[in-house]
Amino acid sequence: MTDRPKRHDDDVIVCRCEDVTLGEIRRLISEGYHTIDEIKRISRAGMGQCQGRTCRHLIARELARALGVPQEEVEMPMFRPPTRPVLLSTIARGEGDE
């Protein structure tokens, strides 16, 4: 783990679904994780109920700042929304395609 000084905003929650802080994101970047997908896999940021609708942009902004590149150059993560939500009760009953 890389030692880095704590900043005043490190406790700010970036991913509310998975309770990931800005400090955690900064630590991962300092450890060499330089894509949103890498950070997502390590921290679970963006894997909650909202699927990263808010936090992926905040992580991209922090990556751009840390890497010294425009935010537009930060590659966005794979986003695979469900094609159609299905209730578990529907699956359990074994209903056909509708």
User: How does pLDDT run across 6-44, given as a tens digit for each residue?
Assistant: 788 999 999 999 999 999 999 999 999 999 999 999 999
Long-range contacts of 69-76 (CB under 8 A, 24+ apart): 74/35, 74/36, 75/35, 75/36, 75/37, 76/36
| Span 43-74, pLDDT tens digits | 999 988 888 888 999 999 999 999 999 999 99
Q: Where are the domains of the chain?
A: 13-93
Q: What is the amino acid identity at position 73?
A: E
57 close to 77: Cβ distance less than 8 angstroms: no
The separation between CA 39 and the C-alpha centre of its own chain, rounded to angstroms, equals: 7
Q: What is the amino acid identity at position 55?
A: C
pLDDT of residue 21: 97
3-class DSSP assignment, residue 51: coil
CATH number of 13-93: 1.10.10
What are 82's two structure tokens? Answer: 């469900």
3-class DSSP assignment, residue 80: coil
